[in-house]
Each structure stands twice: as structure tokens, then as C-alpha cells.
């Protein structure tokens, strides 16, 4: 089982209800965090997750919107009386960058262990996670990550019986333990009774990158692929077009609304509306026309928010027939 939460998806500056880049996954009592932008702790509180079990923090790169939330997070973990070490993974220069940020968080009750990435692709195994780091194309050194949870093969009862392995050892062998039976003078190995490894769970994540073959290669066979890119498409002359956001959304205490437009026509292409209280996993996309009162209130709040930050949607009055700017 792998729990996944996008704590922050904003770029460059935090917005109301949208914090800067951070992704957390949980598995077997261990938490792994990718990036730690401003507002990460607030998003954790809103989600009801604790930062204390975070064992691994991976950084894609060292722009402020991907790492500026780290000092506060470390202090919170220290105040929670954490003493176990935290492993940090990132491009070359990781220890130098974190040491500089720790000027305002100098004393921690737990050690930090650094793994600096130097190769185009590196694989690490930490706790329940197999971590594949792969280099992508940003204007600074930047990595994407694939997080895999291996899945053991099935226990083969017939093989265990055929080899006359006592049943009292079966559960221990299934957990991967080697058994030495001194009374019988025999040694039992897990591979004697375990089948071939089954397909596990794989999540691939990358951010702030141009399209690269490394993304294609690492996203292959993923159960979930999360990819963000800040770069526009090329025009007929091969020049990159100016970036214009094709989606905007708002999250309140109860509802999440996301709107997607066609970049050419600037008309609504898709909408997502979720009742996060009754549908916390966001499995049921509610029709806008059947929830007019809720939607109109969300439109009003979104319009106010976009106007306050002078968002491109406000300046170009995108979907002004719906959103009252």
C-alpha cells in the first residue's frame, strides 16, 4: 500500500489554498518527501499527516520554491522529539545548500545523512523504497524520481511440503528470514518456498523540465506518473511560445474545484468538482450544473483570489461568463 499526497503544486510564489512544490508518500510506517516548498507544513496539517515519520527527503533541484520550507519542517520534527536520522537526496551541492539553510535551524536532535547525485541515473534502496533518480532538463541541475515498492512472490505451500519444511517456520520464511534448524541440522532459505517476485507499485515524479527521453524511460510501467512543466510549446518557426496557464482551481474547507481551458480558444474544456468531506479520495467528479449554488460561490471566491494576485486569468478575463472578476 502506498499513500500519495501532492502537498504543493504552485510555482515561484505560494497562493491561497495552493502551496509550493512538495509531494509526500507513505508506506509501512515510513514517509518520503520530494521537495519542500513554502507552505509544506500547512498542507501537512490540512491533510492530517505528521512530519515526524519522514525518513527520506529528495530534492529535484535547489530553487527556492522547492526547498525554502525545509528549515521550518526540520525544527518542527525536532520539537516532536524525533531522534532517528533523516536521509537527504539531491543533486551535487546538497550538503552545502542544507547547511546554509540550517543557519536558522542550527540545533537538531537527529542527524542528517546526505546522498549527492552525480550520475545521469542512480538507484538507491532505503527502507521500503527503491528510489530511481534520473536527470532531466532544467536551467540548473535537476532530477526526477521514481519510487517503487517491491512486492514479494507468493508463498508456495506445495514446495514447502515437498521439501518437508516444518510448518512452524513458514511465516518466518515468508518474511524473508533464513532459518537454521540445529536439531535437524538443516538450513531453510526463503527462496526455497517463495515464488517469483510480483509487480510492485511504482510512482514517477518530475518537475520544472523540458521533455526528455529519461522521463519517458522512467515513467514506463508506472502506476502513477506526475509531471509538471513550465515551458511552452514551440510555434511553426521552432520558437517557444509564451507560457499561459491552462488551468486554475480553488480548494476550500469542503470543496475542490479545478477548471481547464483550451489554450487556443480559451474556452472551458474540462472541470473537476469534489466534495472532500464526503469524497476524501476525490473519486466522484460532481456535475457543475447540478451543484449551481456551490459552484457559484466557488467562482466568486476564485475570482477574488485571482484578482488579488493579478493572475493571467484575471488580466485576460478568462471564463468571465462564469468567474465574476
Does 65 participate in catalysis according to the annotation?
yes
CA atoms of 41 and 116, how far apart (whole Å): 25
Burial of 59 (0-12, 13-18, 19+ CB in 10 A): buried
From the list 35, 55, 65, 311, the catalytic residue is: 65
CA atoms of 223 and 20, how far apart (whole Å): 24
Q: Are 41 and 22 in contact (CB under 8 A)?
A: no
Query: Any idea which residue has 528470514 for its cell?
Result: 177
E strand or H helix that includes residue 107? none
Sequence-ordered list of residues with C-beta below 8 angstroms from that of 113, at least 6 positions apart, any chain: 85, 86, 87, 88
Q: What is the DSSP letter of 29?
A: T
Provide the annotated active-site residues: 65
Amino acid at each position: 500500500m502506498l499513500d500519495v499526497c501532492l502537498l504543493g503544486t504552485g510555482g515561484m510564489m505560494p497562493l491561497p489554498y495552493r502551496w509550493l512544490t512538495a509531494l509526500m508518500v507513505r508506506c509501512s510506517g515510513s514517509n518520503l518527501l520530494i521537495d519542500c516548498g513554502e507552505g509544506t507544513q500547512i498542507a501537512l496539517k490540512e491533510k492530517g499527516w505528521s512530519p515526524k515519520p519522514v525518513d527520506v527527503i529528495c530534492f529535484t533541484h535547489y530553487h527556492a520554491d522547492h526547498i525554502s520550507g525545509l528549515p521550518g519542517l526540520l525544527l518542527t520534527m525536532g520539537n516532536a522529539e524525533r531522534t532517528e536520522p533523516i536521509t537527504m537526496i539531491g543533486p551535487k551541492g546538497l550538503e552545502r545548500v542544507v547547511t546554509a539553510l540550517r543557519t536558522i535551524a542550527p540545533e537538531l536532535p537527529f542527524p542528517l545523512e546526505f546522498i549527492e547525485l552525480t550520475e545521469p541515473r542512480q538507484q538507491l534502496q532505503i527502507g521500503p523504497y527503491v528510489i530511481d533518480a534520473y536527470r532531466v532538463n532544467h536551467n540548473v541541475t535537476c532530477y526526477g524520481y521514481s519510487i517503487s515498492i517491491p512486492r514479494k512472490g507468493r508463498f508456495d505451500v506445495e514446495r514447502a511440503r515437498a521439501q518437508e519444511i516444518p510448518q512452524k517456520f513458514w511465516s518466518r520464511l515468508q518474511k524473508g528470514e533464513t532459518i537454521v534448524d540445529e536439531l535437524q541440522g538443516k538450513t531453510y532459505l526463503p527462496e526455497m518456498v517463495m515464488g517469483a517476485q510480483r509487480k510492485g507499485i511504482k510512482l514517477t515524479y518530475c518537475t520544472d523540465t523540458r521533455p526528455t527521453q529519461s522521463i519517458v524511460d522512467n515513467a514506463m510501467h508506472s502506476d502513477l506518473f506526475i509531471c509538471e512543466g513550465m515551458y511552452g510549446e514551440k510555434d511553426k518557426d521552432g520558437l517557444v511560445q509564451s507560457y499561459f496557464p491552462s488551468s486554475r482551481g480553488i480548494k476550500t474547507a469542503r470543496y475542490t474545484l479545478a477548471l481547464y481551458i483550451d489554450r487556443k480558444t480559451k474556452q472551458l474544456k474540462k472541470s473537476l468538482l469534489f466534495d472532500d468531506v464526503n469524497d476524501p479520495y476525490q473519486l466522484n467528479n460532481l456535475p457543475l450544473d447540478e451543484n449551481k449554488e456551490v459552484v457559484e460561490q466557488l467562482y466568486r471566491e476564485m475570482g477574488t483570489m485571482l484578482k488579488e494576485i493579478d493572475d493571467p486569468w484575471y488580466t485576460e478575463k478568462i471564463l468571465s461568463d462564469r468567474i465574476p472578476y
